[in-house]
Amino acid sequence: MKLFRSLFLILALAACGSCESRPETSTNPPLGTGPTPTYTYKVLNVYPHDPEAFTQGLVFVDGALYEGTGLEGRSSLRRVDLETGEVLQQYDLPAQYFGEGIAVLGQRIFQLTWRSHVGFVYGRAKFDQQGEFPYATEGWGLTHDGKHLIMSDGTATLYFLDPDKLSQTSNLEVRDERGPVSRLNELEYVEGEVYANLWQTDRIARISPKTGQVLGWVDLRDLLSPADRVRQVDVLNGIAYDAAGKRLFVTGKWWPKLFEIELVAQGN
């Protein structure tokens, strides 16, 4: 995750091989091996996306696209027109905060910050700040299952929070057939599963929120074309689901496009 951590990671690996706590070399199995189902994708629609948006959170609800962006001094909460990519409403976080994942639950929007150990609560209509809440870990991804907020911190753990008391109620380790799956990043709750970007990969894990088991892998390699990579882009990050229309959207940090995709079982 994170631009600055990515730069540090490259330098650290070159200097000492394994100094970073989340190494570039993944312990996760290659796609297509083991019993876990794997999926590729079919692009159904392509929409414009602000190439200046360092996407950290993405939500689609009631016909509106909400986006949380990161970087210190550039973090924001936005409401965006899906069809045009136009930013319709925006709240800029104070410069000291690095914005992270967001979740929209009822008339409230929740937003994490990376290393400040604080999250913010906004009114959905006006983006007026209504409160804040502490947490002990880093803040990465955020979603909800209708009853609990579900949070990631870049490890293999998902944290469940009471959305009213804003305190942790439980946690869950995410595993596949080879062990814990770390670097869980941006999250989205999709039809009873938690979808999670894996930082610095083109993979999404489909996770059971009851057991923590990885139910499937989604391979999104080559989603962004070489022509779209002429300008600076960063990693895949951003999953939104239109529950009413059964539409799945994905994008990335500084990506110029947002994609509506359909999952295709590998081999089909």
CA distance 260 to 179: 31
**Residue pair 153/165 in contact by the 8 Å Cβ criterion:** no
Q: Which domains, from first to last, does the chain contain?
A: 3-7+35-265 (2.120.10.30)
The pLDDT value recorded for residue 266 is 84
The pLDDT value recorded for residue 268 is 56
The pLDDT value recorded for residue 267 is 66
CA distance 216 to 100: 25
**Residue pair 258/42 in contact by the 8 Å Cβ criterion:** no
- Based on the number of CB atoms within 10 Å of its own CB, is 2 exposed (0-12), middle (13-18) or buried (19 or more)? buried
Find how far residue 16's CA is from the centre of its chain.
29
Residuewise pLDDT in 10s, the chain (268 residues): 454 444 433 333 333 333 333 333 334 444 444 689 999 999 999 999 999 999 999 999 999 999 999 999 999 999 999 999 999 999 999 999 999 999 999 999 999 999 999 999 999 999 999 999 999 999 999 999 999 999 999 999 999 999 999 999 999 999 999 999 999 999 999 999 999 999 999 999 999 999 999 999 999 999 999 888 888 899 999 999 999 999 999 999 999 999 999 999 986 5
The pLDDT value recorded for residue 23 is 30
